[in-house]
Structure 1
Amino acid sequence: MKLTSPLLNKEAKTKWYRWPSWIGYAAMLWSVLYGALHLYWLWGGAGYPFNNDGMGLFAAMVTYLPAKVGSIVFVTLCLMGIGIGLVMQKTQNMAFSRWFAIAYSWGFSVALLLFIPDTKLIAAMAYAFLFKFDFNWQMLNQIICIIGALFWMMAAVVYQRKTRHACEYCGRTDDGETPALIRWGRWLTIIAVFAPIPYAFIRFSWALDIPLGVDPQFLRDFSSANPMAHMTEWVFGSVCIVGGILTLGLIQKWGEVFPRWFPFIGGKRVPIMLAVIPASIVAIAVTAAGFVFTFGIFAMALQLVPMDNILLSQGWGAMGPMIFWVPWGVALGLAAIAYYYRRRGRCSNCGKD
């Protein structure tokens, strides 16, 4: 067994590093399976996951569609994805088919990231720091859709690289041009560091019983109804501050090499994915929740919907800071990509630096 394990590990590692060769098929397979699931729901199957469940404006955008309409939309999009996925496997395509495939892939990915998740994912991540875990089928379905979005996004990247004659693995071309994200990486990181501060400031003020931005009676009622209210506010605010500090590592030396005082790993290089993966997960969850919050804020401000949500009617402090969440999530995601581009080494496929 010991003789075969290193070989198996090497084969698995090789398959992972050669992801451009299989990511398009993974996206098509996801479309087949998820399309079949929605076909089952279209025929009246149980378990349709897109329900408002009394969340009002905090619910995902897709919940505004009736169940049968939503299933028809997804079956159609998934069928289109299978056909477009086959087109993307070709090395040469006409200009129209190329741009249509790219537009579909990115459009479908963005729709899955923005219109499917609601505020439950980011709430679950935050409450995990209080050792409160609440996971259900609706949340699992959101994660499945996020995985599908990532598959289609990565398939689109590979297809774009292939059709512009760049390396499918790293995107480098013979002109040696530096990716624009590297040049903007510092500013994107700074935005991602400061964007959550208003939310953290509000939470800290509430933890100190200062009714900043809300009605004092609302804060008293909220604190009396929740015995752990103060602890929750401290944790939520601290998570934002600590997250901002860790985000700063994307442009600092200690984000590339562990400080010497770290036990066992001090002085060693920080694995790239140790920074990129957590930042990307948070970026997706924050952007999706921020999109829902922003929609709610503007819908209420423009009086498109009645002000029947208690949080939305208690003052700017209850929802106002969330308007920074979309730029926070987008900046964090792009900053993580810039960090990856800046730190990646020589491509094992094309040999370019």
Structure 2
Amino acid sequence: MNNKERMITLNVTSPVLNKEAKTKRNRWPSWIGYTAMLWSALYGALHLYWLLGGAGYPFKNEGMGLFAAMVTNLPVQIGGIVFVTLCLMGIGIGLVMQKPHYRAFSRRFAIAYSWGFSVALLLFIPDTRLIAAMAYAFLFKFDFNWEMLNQIICIIGALFWMMAAVVYQRKTRHAREYCGRTDDGETSLLIRWGRWMTMIAVLAPIPYALIRFSWALDIPLGIDPQFLKDFSTANPMARLTEWVFGSVCIIGSLLTLGLIQKWGEVFPRWFPFIGGKRVPIMLAVIPASIVAIAVTAAGFVFTFGIIATALHLGPMDNILHSQGWGAMGPMIFWVPWGVALGLAAIAYYYRRRSRCSRCGRG
């Protein structure tokens, strides 16, 4: 074969190879349901092991009080039975979701279980330690243990079940399971509301940042002056910590703004090496999603604590009375912050995604 023939062959086969490569990447809807079932089987077996007396049960309050996840209030016997039951149900429902026929009751029950289980794994299991570890990483302080690893495992399981639910819903409404597009070409509601979601996610962390900056400047905003003085004296790194925590929130807020700005789609010209190039979609979506999950989970714990405090149900009541509203007040914005950030990231993805390699729709 001469050079000319080789060039013709490459030109003909390259599109085919490229299409096959894209097809392999886009096969996730065909295996995500089985992956969710496999996760349920493995995690259910782990809880069965703990239920039978095995060591390593991860749901421990460890003196965190109302700062701990709600599931830590369950003893190993009750927690084991609950999780084994939920995981067994997941396997059965996952098998139902693989069937080509969709009866009304089974469809609604499968969707309700998938989303309900996912939300429970995200809200009731992670506690404040994950977001704290992410924040302290900027101070080069790393503290990781089995309890935190278990929380990450549960978050991964929640994502599996969410993705399985999305694929199942697309199948039942006769949309493309790989991209969710329909024949009528309707615009996603998230795209239309994406700008508002982004602005909420931009503004929500500002109160927390302002509180931290004021403490760094030795201004006792929302806190007892003597407590701030004693805390700063006992912790030489206190002011630096406040500056870092506040700055992380402000920088995150500015980066979130990029989800609706041109520089969030194309790198500014002054960027070295990559200036003028398109921003990879996942470079924005993945970090935003990780922060959204961690912030929402921690915010849920804080909000539950604040409500319990208002009802005088727990020790956090003493914390607020001794320290002031600044110790917990700004965290009430964390749930809307996390939810809005997650929705904004999804809207950004849908707005920027390219033409589907399967159905050819843009």
Q: Same fold (TM over 0.5)?
A: yes
Taking structure 2 as the reference length, the TM-score comes to 0.93
Structure 1 residues 10-65: Cα deviation after superposition (integer angstroms, max 9, x where no partner): 98865432111110000000000000000000000000000000000000010111
Deviation at 1:304, TM superposition (A): 2.2
Q: Which residue does the alignment assign to 1:177?
A: 186
Check if 1:98 corresponds to 2:121. Answer: no
Structure 1 gaps of 5+ residues are 1-7
Please list the CA deviations of residues 188-207 of structure 1 after superposition, one character each: whole Å capped at 9, or x if unmatched.
00000000000000000000
Look up the match of 2:158: 149
Find the aligned partners of 2:120 and 2:90 in 1 and give their Cα distance: 13
Partner of 2:281: 272
Q: What root-mean-square deviation, in Å, do the aligned CA atoms of Structure 1 and Structure 2 show? A: 1.7
Contact 2:66 2:315 in 1 (8 A): no
What is the distance in 2 between the residues matched to 1:82 and 1:171?
24
Distance 2:325 2:154 in 1: 32
How much has 1:66 moved relative to structure 2? 1.1
Asked whether the equivalents of residues 290 and 326 of structure 1 are also in contact (C-alpha less than 8 Å), the reply is yes
- 2:325 matched to which residue of 1? 316
Answer whether contact 2:122 2:155 (CA < 8 A) is retained. yes
Residues of 2 paired with 1:130 and 1:11: CA distance? 45
| Pick aligned residue for 2:55 from 18, 42, 46 | 46
After superposition, the Cα gap between the structure-2 partners of 1:174 and 1:218, relative to the gap in structure 1 and judged at 3 Å, is: same
Identity %: 88
1:30 to 28, 39, 45: 39
Contact map agreement 1:91 1:163 (CA 8 A) in 2: no
Kept in 1, the 8 Å contact 2:204–2:337? The answer is yes
Moved more, 241-250 or 62-71: 62-71
Gap change, CA 1:201 and 1:25, over 3 Å in 2:
same
Change in CA separation of 1:13 and 1:36 when aligned onto 2, cut-off 3 Å: farther
Structure 2 gaps, min length 5: 1-16
Question: Who is 2:145 aligned against?
Answer: 136
Q: CA deviation at 1:67?
A: 1.2
Q: Structure 1 residue 207 and structure 2 residue 216: aligned?
A: yes
C-alpha spacing 1:9/1:342, structure 2 compared with 1 (3 Å): closer
Q: Which residue of 2 aligns with 1:5?
A: none
Quote the offset at 1:224 in angstroms.
Answer: 1.1
Q: How far off its partner does 1:311 sit?
A: 5.5
| Amino acid paired to 1:129 | F
The correspondence for 1:127, drawn from 136, 146, 150, is 136
Note the C-alpha offset of 1:225.
Answer: 1.4
Larger radius of gyration: 2
List structure 1 runs of 4+ shifted beyond 3 angstroms: 8-16, 306-313
The one of 228, 231, 245 aligned to 1:219: 228
Deviation at 1:303, TM superposition (A): 1.3
1:71 aligns with 2:80: yes
CA apart distance, 1:93: 1.9
Contact 1:312 1:318 in 2 (8 A): no
Pick closer, same or farther for the CA change 1:15–1:135 going to 2, 3 Å: farther
Give the C-alpha shift of residue 350 in structure 1: 1.2
AA aligned to 1:83 is G
Deviation of residue 310 (structure 1)? 3.2
Secondary structure of 2:80 counterpart: helix
CA distance in 2, matches of 1:285, 1:305: 24
1:118 and 2:114 are equivalent in the alignment? no
Match of 1:186 among 195, 199, 202: 195
Q: How many residues are matched?
A: 347
Normalised by the length of structure 1, the TM-score is 0.96
Equivalent residue for 1:3?
A: none
**How far did residue 222 of structure 1 move?**
1.0
Q: Which amino acid aligns with 2:243?
A: W
**Partner Cα distance (1:229, 1:10) in 2:** 55
1:327 pairs with 2:336: yes
In the alignment, which residue of structure 2 is the partner of 1:4? none
Mapped contact 1:23–1:151 kept (Cα < 8 A): yes
Q: Residue 199 of structure 1 aligns to a residue in which SS?
A: helix
Report if aligned partners of 1:56, 1:309 keep a CA contact under 8 Å in 2.
no
Give the distance between the partners of 1:341 and 1:269, measured in 2 at CA: 16
Inter-partner Cα distance in structure 2 for 1:278 and 1:177: 28
Shift in CA distance, 68/12, structure 1 to aligned 2, threshold 3 Å = farther
CA distance in 1, matches of 2:327, 2:315: 17
Distance 1:241 1:205 in 2: 14
Does the C-alpha gap of structure 1 residues 39 and 229 become closer, same or farther in structure 2, counting only changes over 3 Å?
same
SS of aligned partner of 2:319: coil
The question of 1:294 aligning with 2:303 is answered yes
Alpha-carbon distance between aligned partners in 1 of 2:89 and 2:319, rounded to the nearest angstrom? 41
Q: Which SS does the other structure have where 2:186 is aligned?
A: coil
What per-residue deviation string (whole Å, max 9, x for no partner) do you get for residues 216-245 of structure 1?
011011111111000000000000000000
* In the alignment, structure 1 residue 241 sits paired with structure 2 residue 243: no
Q: Which moved more, 1:102-111 or 1:88-97?
A: 88-97
